[in-house]
Chain A
Amino acid sequence: MTTESGQDEQPTQALPARGAVRPGEGAPGGGAAGAEPAAGGIAAGAGEPAPGIVAATTDEPAAAPGEPGEPAAAPDEPGEPGEPGEPAASADTDGATANVPSLACPVCGALGPATDSFCEACGTPLRASAVPPAGGQASAAPAGPAAPATPATDPVGAQTPDDPGGAAGEAAPAPFGTPGSNPEGLAGASPFGTPGSAAGGHAVAYPVGDPAAAGAPPAPGAPTAAAAPAVGHDPTATLGPGVRECSRCGGTIASDGYCLECGERAALPRDHFRSAPAPWLGGVCDRGVVHTRNEDAMALAVSGGGAVLVVCDGVSSARDSDVASLAACEAAATELLAQLDRTPGPEREQQLLDAVARAAVTANTAVVATGGAAAHGAAQQGSAAGADAAEGADAAGADAALTGAATGGEDSPSCTYVAAVVEGPVVAVAWLGDSRAYWFPDAGTPVRLTNDHSWAAEMIALGMPRAEAEAARHAHAITRWLGADAPDLAAGTTLLEVADPGWLLLCSDGLWNYCSEPEPLAALVRQSVQEAQGDPTESAAALVRWANGQGGRDNVTAALARLGR
């Protein structure tokens, strides 16, 4: 049940109209985006700890036992070098998780300790399983093709003592073999092995059809050992603290500032912010898709059992409207919060209505002040004058407001206004422009609590047929706003008495342009609330995502309060 007031003033044909046609207002983003830094690479370490190249220590084969290059180690135990690849397999199989990094099997993907030689799951030899350099194997066999049938990966086979090659190695325990028939007289004394009498005799031909027999470790066609990425599987591993959520898809924003799922750029703080002052009150203010700045603003606060909600939508054609809208929200919210803390008078409902309407005037002063500061700042740059310039900014703004001399004409910052004060069952709403409030009772008819100050709305109120009014070129142009050139600061007001539980929604046209009628909007809110499991901030985020999914042609703000609970 609602009552309306504040609509007593009749609009005239000579309505002041602010802002161009209002969806699709402002220039397309491309031009402004050009000012942003162009695409460019970022060098390693820009923004994250510079990952250098892994130090040699882990790869240093000198640590491997039984390395074959050391003649000193070999002479008496040609069989010993066969062991090096193995220790991990026996010792660390269970406790691997403690210190040993894990390695994904390139074939089946199962994780195992990096020190494992074979995948526990499928048996594929792993990269870590360097085949032990073993004495006297394979190619030393006079039998030629037969010898390499011993898989090189089989350390037992490689060590077979009766292997003829092994015998040769034993006879001449030298790392290079012995040039037994060396014509240059190195004879058996040389540690380099024998060149062999016939090339054919020592040659090894490998039947390619059976690579396993030839000792090729992994199966052909299998992802190679080199390919097995040991770590870095988890893309979020690169994320620093303060993980943020993507405003478009809800994915995670990486440390490079873009979504890990959809590639959306992380919103700047001003471009996307949330407020969740109570479990039953929350909102999201977002840049949308097309605009390059977020000129919407929002301020939510609670005190005692009461709450304050303010949403302002900056006018794109005006300079610094993003600053203006935020200043308006904060000024209005501060004043309304103070009102909540005041002892209720006898006519409390009227008191709240007056307060929420009066807060628009306070907000207007704040908006004008931002324009004054901006104008003054520009003047200061021009004249390179006064050190007291900053202090004078407020005074200049106030002057401008008093004299009505708009600091920059069309350029002066301006914004819409919609605010609600909630105290007990009473909700007092005031507005200027086309930002809206809706009431969606769980049971009962959803209602719009506000009437836009737009050209179309005012023409309809004057008797123009709705279709004609809404088809007009300036249908969406707003007729009241906050700013130095504000034509009228008399806000529309509404009082709502909450009898049953429901949701109060305040939003900018960035949302309602895609869903204006109370019924479908109520359904949308219900769906969002369901998705968000009743959390008002998450529900608002879902509404914003939905609007962005519809094209996000404007900034989007949605603030929700659960009332009558």
Chain B
Amino acid sequence: MATFSAEVFSNQYVPEGATDVHAIVSVTASGSGSGAAGDYGATGAGAAEIIIFDSSGSMSGRNLQSAKYAASVAVDQIVDGTWFAIVAGSHVATRVFPYPNAPVQIVRMEPAARAEAKRAIERVTATGGTAMSSWLMLADQIFATVPAGVRKHAILLTDGKNESEPAGNLQRAIAAVQGHFQCDARGVGDRWIVEEVRQIATALLGTVDLIADPSGIPADFERLMRASMARTVNDAQLRVWAPQGAQLLFVRQVAPTLEDLTARRIVVNPLTGDYPTGAWGDEEREYHVAVRVPSRPLGAEQLVARVQVVVGGQVAASGLVKATWSADPSLTARISPEVAHYTGQAELASVIQEGLAAKAAGDEATATVKLGRAVQLAQQTGNDEATSRLRRVVEIDDPERGTVRLRREASRLDEMALDTGSTKTTRVRK
């Protein structure tokens, strides 16, 4: 039986006249795989998986070989009893397994199915263009045949640009399937567009990553599938209440990756909104909530936000964000280290993305300033991974002051790695 807990980090004491309150809420799930009743992983009956891989012409050779092998490795990770299907995508989507003429669109894993699925994967050949909307729509159609309450997850792998359909198709497809299933998206090589693939993963509550070399695909797929199998808690919502007269400035996931959830609010009542967070295993995620309330007299204390985790309509954990207006500067001057850290990490992500966009547009001055600021923030927040990714794109003269020069020889792959990695955050050093 999974249990959730929530911990709030903020400075409760605000100075006279203050209106904005920031808090980091750390949510931890545990015991998701241990209980008999809650342990979907053991039987797989509560999960459905679809592996979608690019089979367009550009994949021919090592990419397709690796993708097919990776799909087989992922199939090995799918626990018996789990619903599963395999889709190959080009300018159209093809159900590889169950075979197109099978009586059902998705089957439950068992040894014979596993063996036959691998044979089916082996038959796929590279041909055609890339229209990812069709991939998502076919996956959605297959998932729709699964019984209610089953957790649905897909892995999508591509190597290229979404070039075989009008711009806008992909966004419409994403909007159409959003909320139906989760999807981790992966790009292999350096010919895919980070923004395209990121929007799929972001909207479908998954992760995005770059796999520089096809040899890295199998290990990544294995990891993704194993993680998905461990997420036995389906469909958790982050529920945020703010008092009458307050304004919820934003709700962000800040760890392990950065996602702005603000626009995903689903109204529960005028003071309360739900933000879908997808499936959970044993893990910790952190959220940054910012609320603006009317200022109160010195000494007044009030609750400015209730941050809760809701599973199956039940509140599973609750964190309280409070404010006390105080005249004591020794209390009010303190900034929560957690809030400061994640504010820095959020800025880091945006300056990296803005810097790379400026560079791509040929605006080197802006790119230098933005990426310089990124180096400074990565240093300050101890994000060493970001620093090392930045180092491949800029020459760092002074990390403290953020003085950098753009590297002429920076490869597209390095820039894409910096871009895809920009939303990965580090935790606060405790």
Contacts and interface: CB of A to CB of B under 8 A. Distances in A.
Interface of A: 28-31, 33-34, 38-45, 48, 50-62, 64, 67-69, 74, 78, 81, 84-85, 127-140, 144, 148, 152-153, 165-166, 168-170, 172-180, 182, 184, 190-196, 199-200, 202-206, 208-209, 211, 214-217, 220-221, 223-227, 229-233, 235, 238, 249, 254, 256, 258-265, 289-292, 551-553
Contact of B145 (A54, A132, A256, A290): A132
B92 interface: yes
Interface in B361-387: none
Contact of B297 (A62, A204, A551): A551
Contact of B102 (A41, A177, A206): A177
A59 B101 contact: no
Contacts of B268: 229, 232-233
Given A61-B45, A208-B133, A39 B320 contact: yes
Given A38-B12, A44-B5, A33 B299 contact: yes
B144 A140 contact: no
Contact of B180 (A52, A133, A225): A225
Contact of B299 (A133, A179, A191, A289): A289
Given A68-B107, A290-B300, 6 more contacts: A53-B2, A193-B98, A199-B55, A203-B94, A229-B313, A552-B300
A135 to B, nearest CB: 4
A67 B107 CA distance: 9
Interface stretch (B236-244, B403-411, B413-421): B236-244
A138 B101 contact: no
A195 B123 contact: yes
Contacts of B165: 208
> Can you list the 10 inter-chain pairs with the closest CB atoms, starting with the nearest?
A224-B179, A29-B299, A177-B102, A30-B326, A193-B99, A69-B108, A169-B103, A177-B99, A59-B149, A202-B100
B107 to A, nearest CB: 5
Given A33-B301, A56-B40, A227 B92 contact: no
A11 B32 CA distance: 76
A169 B101 contact: yes
A199 B144 contact: no
A31 B145 contact: no
Contacts of B150: 59, 61, 130
Interface string B103-127: 1111110101100100110011101
Contacts of A39: 8, 10, 12, 23, 320-322
B226 interface: no
B78 interface: no
Contact of A290 (B12, B91, B170, B298): B298
28 contacts: A28-B299, A30-B298, A30-B326, A31-B326, A34-B326, A39-B8, A41-B26, A42-B318, A43-B5, A44-B5, A51-B311, A52-B38, A129-B148, A134-B104, A139-B105, A152-B144, A168-B101, A199-B127, A204-B134, A205-B93, A206-B137, A206-B141, A208-B173, A216-B144, A220-B175, A232-B239, A265-B322, A551-B297
Nearest to A288: B299
A261 B269 CA distance: 11
B147 A216 contact: no
A39 B331 CA distance: 13
A66 B107 CA distance: 13
A209 B271 CA distance: 35
Contacts of A180: 101
Contact of A133 (B119, B146, B170): B146
A513 B328 CA distance: 26
B159 interface: no
Contacts of B297: 289-290, 551-553
Contacts of B102: 140, 169, 174-178, 192-193
B30 to A, nearest CB: 10
A192 B101 contact: no
A62 B313 contact: no
Contact of B179 (A51, A179, A192, A226): A226
Contacts of B269: 233, 235
A54 B320 contact: no
Contacts, number: 403
A356 B345 CA distance: 68
B172 A211 contact: yes
A175 B106 CA distance: 8
B2 to A, nearest CB: 4
Contact of A61 (B146, B176, B319): B146
B72 interface: no
Interface stretch (B59-67, B190-198, B302-310): B302-310
Contacts of A178: 99, 101-102
Contacts of B138: 139, 204, 206
Contacts of B313: 229-232
Given A195-B99, A195-B120, A61 B317 contact: no
Contacts of A166: 103
Interface string B254-272: 0000000000001011011
Contacts of B299: 28-30, 33, 289-292
A196 B99 contact: yes
Interface in B163-185: 165, 169-170, 172-173, 175-180
A44 B268 CA distance: 21
